[in-house]
Amino acid sequence: MPDLGDYGVYVLSAYGGAAVLLIGLVVQSVTRARRVRAELEEVERRHG
Amino acid sequence: MSLWEYANPKKFVATTTPVIPWVFGAALACLGLGLVWGFFFTPDDFRQGATVKIIYLHVPAAMMAINIWLMMLVTSLVWLVRRHHVSALAARAAAPIGIVMTLIALWTGAVWGQPMWGTWWAWDPRLTSFLILFLFYLGYAALWTAIEDPDTAADLTSVLCMVGSVFAVLSRYAANFWNQGLHQPATFSLDAETNIAPVFWYPALLCMAGFVLLFVALVLLRTQTEIRVRRMRALVARAART
């Protein structure tokens, strides 16, 4: 871990906040893609 | 082969499906390498100390926030002129990514501003135009969900996108236009004389490449999802009529 001096809390909260937002976006995109694909397959099976 | 062939939803999904994992992988590699390099192996700035490490997130996120809106403008214009559904759906798919990028830029800017400027926020031209861009993103996403007919929603959101483009451009050049406020003009430049030192520039370049690749992977995936949602609604509506 590099020595962040007096700025540790600022630098780490910048990285932490960005990580939460980016990981959240990727997880939401992938789970929604999977869910919609499964739902479409079901609809196509019934009505397609 | 013409670019317009990809306006066919089936062709778009078939072409992009094998590409997405590779682009995701390349994005992760660039981001991982760039952030580890920037965080662990670059020196502190002589004036800003360790806070300079925030540059590897702040600048790429801000760059993407502006450019995603401009991508939405192009795809919205394609929708208005050529009526290709994939184009309108790509703009819709990009908006949540733009919201996240704008949020990251605002958040990292605030936590960088507090130790350097002594304040989390100032009504500075660059910051204010970025906040307005963020509100435009939220309005754009809300408008898509508020209108039931997808073609009407695509028309109205395209018009909103054109109006918001003023703020996307403004947020890029605000510091140059007004030459006042706390935020400095662009940190990165292709001119070696004015650009930041190579020790910061190379990891930043990798991070910017990572953010661009991550956006490409996500927008392709989310556009596929929007295409499937549209097909699902069409099938259900057709079944309800018969």
Cβ-Cβ contacts under 8 Å, A37 against chain B = 225, 228
Residue A26 and residue B153: Cα distance in Å, rounded? 25
Residue B102 and residue B61: Cα distance in Å, rounded? 7
The contacts of residue B13 (CB under 8 Å, 6+ apart) are B224, B227, B228
Residue A19 and residue B178: Cα distance in Å, rounded? 33
pLDDT for B187-219, tens place per residue?
Answer: 666 676 667 788 899 999 999 999 999 999 999
Closest CA to B217 of B61, B75, B25, B10: B25
What is the structure's pLDDT at B175? 63
- Predicted confidence (pLDDT) at residue B182 exceeds the cutoff of 80: no
Q: A1, A4, A6, A7: which to substitute to probe chain B, counting the most B Cβ within 10 Å? A: A7
Average pLDDT over residues A33-41: 97
pLDDT for B129-150, tens place per residue?
Answer: 899 999 999 999 999 999 999 9
pLDDT for B32-65, tens place per residue?
Answer: 999 999 999 999 988 889 999 999 999 999 999 9
Nearest CA in chain A to B104: A18
Residue B62 sits at the chain A interface (C-beta within 8 Å): no
Q: Are B99 and B134 in contact (CB under 8 A)?
A: yes
Residue B55 and residue B60: Cα distance in Å, rounded? 8
Closest CA to B115 of B204, B187, B52: B52
Q: Are B73 and B140 in contact (CB under 8 A)?
A: no
